[in-house]
Structure 1
Amino acid sequence: MKLVSFIAAGSVAAAQQVYISANGPSSRPQCAANGSYATATPVYLFRDFSFTQTETIRTATSRPAPTTTTSFAPPYASLSSLVPSLITTQWGNWDPSSNASATDAGVPYGNASWTGLWTTVSWTNFTRGIYSTTVEPTAVPTSELVLPPPEYLAPRECYAFPEDFMLGVAASAVQIEGAIADEGRTPVHIDALPLLSPGASPDYITNENYYLYKQDIERIASMGIKYYRFSIPWSRILPFVLPGTPVNKQGLDHYDDIINFVLEKGMLPAIVLHHTDTPLQFYSNISEIGLAPGTGGIGYIDSGYQYSYKNVSYEDAFVNYGKIVMTHFADRVPIFWTFNEPLLGSKNGKSINAVIKAHARLYHFYHEEIKGTGKISITLNDNFGVPRDPENPADVDAANHFNSFQLATFANPIFLGIDYPDSYKMTVADYVPLNATDLVYLNGTADFFSIQPYTATVVSPPPNGSIVECAANITHPLRPYCVTQTTTVHDTQWNIGYPSQTYVYTTPTYFRTYLNYLWNTFKAPIVVTEFGTPVFGEAEKELKDQLFDSPRSQYYQYYLNEGLKAIWEDGVQWIGAFAWSFADNWEFGDFDAHFGIQTVNRTTQERRYKKSFFDFVDFIESRRQKE
């Protein structure tokens, strides 16, 4: 069988994979001009041999120092009236091995109260890293910036990326910072998740980026990256969470310095306000963090969006936090995201409602009150569902149900100003209805469509019963999506792509189809804010073999190439790509799933560039249009 992908202009239904039966080897239509080689007789001859093969030694091009500074909003001094009565203070570090104790018991937001937020949880084997202060960076040696040998079968099409195509790398605070109890930060729900999973690794140290951020930024800039996407933990800015509580001066100063150093290195900062780090105060017990199967939950964990704390809703508290961050940093930050993959942290309909409303309120605040000229979005998740048989209506309906539940639940009101999809409403019985006023307020509250398309999954209806029956049964094992998901192509034994260490399969042709689906469905420019893959068994390999990560290099180049086809052949407005992640990190309890394009030595914290980092950057920059 041969797999053929085609796009009919303006028709989403046609943007499907189609299976055409054929026998024998693959055809090579691109070789028609050289057809004589099919029948010609080769000529064999002897010649004097010499080592004439040549290699080009190239080095990465660092970001140049900026010559101008762009302002995206007024400075905080001009915006402070929008977040009145802020009080800043600072706290120390929590160290359970220390005999010291706070002496200000009874002070509402003093050190004793701050320490009490840590001692409510019985942390297991709490450890600290090797750094306790910010480390000044050193220049990356030229020897580290020499490009590796190119992939022999790299894509050879001649399409180009638009001049302003965003080249970036991404990370999240809980996965790289460590120092979770330092300089005023209080616990977040994902800190406690490993306590519910025996054998999981905690995030106490991770990459120690909290103290090594300057060196990390230096290394990223040295590779020529333009955008550095990172998150700011709510609990490091507002340790006591609620409006009216003191703002952590050390937290503000820390991220202020990160932003300034990113700009100094010729890059642009891009900030995520929530990346799996809800303050632990929203939970009455850490057992609430896990979403037990068969309870009707939507995501994999409970990010607490539906909770209140001291009679303040999550929505109101989050909006207050977002306003503080935006007013302080919007003058220098061109892009903000409110939430990262919120579906995966949603428990029920109230969760979805809180996320959508909080996002829209911050969008309006940024553009209408701050008068910011940058961009705001919300990042969604969906491993693109493709029908098992695109000529079978039941399989197509199942794929549409699967995708719309994950995407249109947020994107219908935010991008199109229309109601939730039926896939969501039929599954989540307690969804909060949206009225006409809501839809007007929500409509258009994202400046681009932000997606994280790691892979694809093959979808068909439930094996027994229907999607409707599954959706009505909260204990059904296929909930919440109520479809069968597989990794095999059509009715064969073949996987849809190379299997990685986790759930990711290399599926570049589906990436092109996915971009078409998003563009033609939600009608907004698209930014890929995370994509990547962990090479199978990489953690067990020697360092030199980890560095030469051809499967990851191929993943990035093949995906980017299919994205170029979507731009030039299909008319899709794809405007940026952010690699996940700029370094191996903590993958929510696991250090062995290496998504990074740099290695990290867990003993010394030394970073090393992998081949994929060079190839990711070079693929885009070697194809970027020039003025």
Structure 2
Amino acid sequence: MKLRVLLCSGAVSLAQQVYIPVDGPPSLPQCTRNGSYATAIPSHSFREFSFTQTETVKMATSRPAPTTTTTFAPNYSRLSSLVPNLTTTQWGNWDPASNATPTDTGVPYGNASWTALWTAIPWVNFTRGIYSTTVEPTPVSTSELVLPPPEPFVPQTCYTFPKDFLLGVAASAVQVEGAVADEGRTPVHMDAISLLSPGAANDFVANENYYLYKQDIERIASMGIGYYRFSIPWSRILPFVLPGTPVNQQSLAHYDDLISYVLEKGMLPAIVLHHTDTPLEFYPNISDIGIAPGTGGVGYTDSGFQRSYQNVSFEEAFVNYGKIVMTHFADRVPIWWTFNEPLLGSRNGHSVNAVIKAHARLYHFYREEIQGTGRISLTLNDNFGVPRNPSDPADVNAANHFNDFQLATFANPIFLGQDYPDAFKDTISDYVPLTPEDLAYLNGTADFFSIQPYTATVVSPPPNDTIAACAANMSHPLRPYCVTQSTTTTTGWNIGYRSWSYVYITPTYFRTFLNYLWNTFRHPIAVTEFGFPIFAEAEREQADQEFDSPRTWYYQSYLNEGLKALWEDGVDWIGAFAWSWADNWEFGDYNAQFGIQTVNRTTQERRYKKSFFEYVDFVESRRQT
């Protein structure tokens, strides 16, 4: 557990990790050193040999059908006055291979206007999936629910998970739904990624979850998962984006049925309002989606938070969309997130300002007008920065700067009622100052801290510069974080087993990260994405993809370190959501497979991976009753 000292503005790390020099092999603290095996000499004997072996056949435990119904807010019939004058309509599908032409030219929000939003973009190789209507589910066969052979070495701690620990899986609409031009949906900025990066795979089909959602929910519930985390695309609910434009009746019916089916299968729905899918109407040119290095940008792509469309700000339009979704579904949804990893989609300081204020407005709307009893947060990203040398104050300062920029920028105002951190204000010159009134309104507008800690990053200062000099230089190559990021510590070893690009298995740092979050921002913590793509998994035979031991080790080791944080360090860790419930579209790539199910890209058949069984079993076998 890390050492900390409290200052007036919060907690500041003194050290992240202590290296303990040890000669020779490690001790075995879990074994009794003075027991009989410490000094006894093994005996040897012959006996009749036979091929005997014990193999336990264990089945996954499906979610039981609910016996009671819990509500978290009044239903829409009682909340409709909060979003007055809504009109609903529906649109068709857009298929560039079709010769059909809309005939309602001149109607402001008719099919011709809707189609024009698709034909305005020069799509390349636009394809459709094999489904065009919702597929009714079939029960998962018993043979698929037999647990695989257990790992021979698993964490040996005896800690338990609280009875109400949230065990979930997650995915985002833009990465799994497909059917991007069906039933009224209009383009979002990530749909254009294959146009911006030639050779990148597109999301036009993805997992066809839009039509296969019932089967996917059936499969997930059959494994015993408690929470199904998904996102609802703004452009499906409001194809023309703005307040006063028609609401898509088909999309309301779709997500209403999806939520009902989740509940029918004994799980609970958890909804993200914005997960990297800003309507394309906010972009005058698709080239605006990218953020060029050296231009002072905050994130990697522009999610349009700072933009306006027809003189309506993103903030105003998004809050309107959020109110529509919440009033329709808040009665049955216990957990909401407004934004997912907003830092990565922020272009500048105005982007951050729009996000935190839109989030706070929806929080107040949910609590004060809807009077909802569920929980709300927003999910932040940070591959936890740890100092290269914990004994070097410069490295510790660099790690604090790295984490502050990514986390405290949003978390200081929302969780602590405090101003932006210096790491953000010193780097982003156009940040919008927060007044005392702003901070009072923002403070406490999240019920738990939501984080996505895939891995860790070893941090030190810039090699030939200072952090301050980098922050002041708009074109500095290390902006916006202004630190050196590495994967090796002072020992020269990598921090963990590497799978793909940036992802390393770093479970001990996960425990440290939970301590950092809990002691800094002082709210319960939910891990809303964590996962692991095995190196070159897409090139393996089907059976080898299913027997994914390294991903199992990832989940078991992370969960085990979380238990230590819970029981030994006093951290209030409330839940974990695996990313993802199936291999999906990883923003231009289908071969970066984070899923705990495989997906056949031709037939859309799903198959469980070993890690799915082990992820659920690790928690449920240790859950308090």
Give the TM-score normalised by structure 2.
0.98
Please list the CA deviations of residues 445-475 of structure 1 after superposition, one character each: whole Å capped at 9, or x if unmatched.
0010000000001000000110000000111
Asked whether the 8 Å contact 1:15–1:517 carries over to 2, the reply is: no
Give me the whole-angstrom Cα distance separating, in 2, the residues matched to 1:502 and 1:608: 25
Give me the whole-angstrom Cα distance separating, in 1, the residues matched to 2:12 and 2:420: 19
Give me the whole-angstrom Cα distance separating, in 2, the residues matched to 1:523 and 1:469: 32
Please list the CA deviations of residues 380-426 of structure 1 after superposition, one character each: whole Å capped at 9, or x if unmatched.
00000000011110000000000010000000000000000000000
Aligned to 2:111: 111
- Residues 466-485 of structure 1: pairs in structure 2 closer than 5 A: 466-485=466-485
Asked whether the 8 Å contact 2:455–2:504 carries over to 1, the reply is: yes
- Residues 270-419 of structure 1: pairs in structure 2 closer than 5 A: 270-419=270-419
The one-letter amino acid paired with 2:580 is S
The one-letter amino acid paired with 2:526 is V
Give the gaps of 5 or more residues in structure 2: none
Q: Does 1:16 align with 2:16?
A: yes
Asked whether the 8 Å contact 1:7–1:570 carries over to 2, the reply is: no
State the shift of 1:38 in Å: 5.1
The number of equivalent residue pairs is: 621
Asked whether the 8 Å contact 1:297–1:346 carries over to 2, the reply is: yes
Give me the whole-angstrom Cα distance separating, in 2, the residues matched to 1:30 and 1:216: 41
Aligned to 2:598: 599
State the shift of 1:516 in Å: 0.2
Aligned to 1:213: 213
Q: Which SS does the other structure have where 2:529 is aligned?
A: coil
State the shift of 1:13 in Å: 3.0
Distance 1:291 1:8, change over 3 A: closer
State the shift of 1:15 in Å: 6.2
State the shift of 1:492 in Å: 2.9
Give me the whole-angstrom Cα distance separating, in 2, the residues matched to 1:221 and 1:266: 7
Asked whether the 8 Å contact 2:241–2:317 carries over to 1, the reply is: yes
Q: Does 1:428 align with 2:394?
A: no
State the shift of 1:539 in Å: 0.1
State the shift of 1:158 in Å: 0.4
Please list the CA deviations of residues 427-451 of structure 1 after superposition, one character each: whole Å capped at 9, or x if unmatched.
0000000000000000000010000
Aligned to 1:123: 123
Quote the sequence identity (%): 78
Give me the whole-angstrom Cα distance separating, in 2, the residues matched to 1:605 and 1:135: 12
Asked whether the 8 Å contact 2:88–2:249 carries over to 1, the reply is: yes
Please list the CA deviations of residues 494-536 of structure 1 after superposition, one character each: whole Å capped at 9, or x if unmatched.
1111101231100000000000000000000000000000011
Q: Does 1:548 align with 2:535?
A: no
Please list the CA deviations of residues 295-334 of structure 1 after superposition, one character each: whole Å capped at 9, or x if unmatched.
0001010000000000000000000000000000000000
Please list the CA deviations of residues 184-231 of structure 1 after superposition, one character each: whole Å capped at 9, or x if unmatched.
000000000121101100000000000000000000000000100000
Please list the CA deviations of residues 275-299 of structure 1 after superposition, one character each: whole Å capped at 9, or x if unmatched.
0000000000000001000000010
Distance 1:596 1:325, change over 3 A: same
Aligned to 2:170: 170
Please list the CA deviations of residues 236-283 of structure 1 after superposition, one character each: whole Å capped at 9, or x if unmatched.
000000000000000111000100000010110000000000000000
Asked whether the 8 Å contact 2:2–2:13 carries over to 1, the reply is: no
Q: Does 1:191 align with 2:191?
A: yes
- Residues 61-140 of structure 1: pairs in structure 2 closer than 5 A: 61-140=61-140
Q: Which SS does the other structure have where 1:397 is aligned?
A: helix
Give me the whole-angstrom Cα distance separating, in 2, the residues matched to 1:323 and 1:507: 39
Give me the whole-angstrom Cα distance separating, in 1, the residues matched to 2:80 and 2:49: 75
Aligned to 2:512: 513
Distance 1:625 1:9, change over 3 A: farther
Q: Which SS does the other structure have where 1:229 is aligned?
A: strand
Asked whether the 8 Å contact 1:12–1:517 carries over to 2, the reply is: no
Asked whether the 8 Å contact 2:5–2:13 carries over to 1, the reply is: no
Give me the whole-angstrom Cα distance separating, in 2, the residues matched to 1:23 and 1:375: 49
Q: Which SS does the other structure have where 2:30 is aligned?
A: helix
State the shift of 1:50 in Å: 2.9
Aligned to 2:230: 230
CA RMSD, 1 decimal: 1.3
Aligned to 2:583: 584
Give me the whole-angstrom Cα distance separating, in 2, the residues matched to 1:396 and 1:20: 18
The one-letter amino acid paired with 1:141 is S
Asked whether the 8 Å contact 1:12–1:520 carries over to 2, the reply is: no
Please list the CA deviations of residues 6-61 of structure 1 after superposition, one character each: whole Å capped at 9, or x if unmatched.
66798863662111223222222333434664554332221222334311100000
Give me the whole-angstrom Cα distance separating, in 1, the residues matched to 2:53 and 2:5: 45
The one-letter amino acid paired with 1:456 is A
Q: Which SS does the other structure have where 1:336 is aligned?
A: strand
Give me the whole-angstrom Cα distance separating, in 1, the residues matched to 2:608 and 2:15: 37
The one-letter amino acid paired with 2:537 is E
Give me the whole-angstrom Cα distance separating, in 2, the residues matched to 1:30 and 1:206: 46
Q: Which SS does the other structure have where 1:533 is aligned?
A: coil
Q: Does 1:256 align with 2:256?
A: yes
Give me the whole-angstrom Cα distance separating, in 1, the residues matched to 2:349 and 2:478: 18
Q: Which SS does the other structure have where 1:595 is aligned?
A: coil
State the shift of 1:139 in Å: 0.1
Aligned to 2:537: 538
Give me the whole-angstrom Cα distance separating, in 2, the residues matched to 1:196 and 1:453: 28
Give me the whole-angstrom Cα distance separating, in 2, the residues matched to 1:496 and 1:132: 46
Aligned to 1:441: 441
Q: Does 1:621 align with 2:620?
A: yes
Please list the CA deviations of residues 561-585 of structure 1 after superposition, one character each: whole Å capped at 9, or x if unmatched.
0000000000000000000000000
Give the gaps of 5 or more residues in structure 1: none
Give me the whole-angstrom Cα distance separating, in 2, the residues matched to 1:8 and 1:422: 19
Q: Does 1:570 align with 2:569?
A: yes
More deviation in 24-33 or 574-583?
24-33
Q: Which SS does the other structure have where 1:529 is aligned?
A: strand
Q: Which SS does the other structure have where 1:555 is aligned?
A: helix
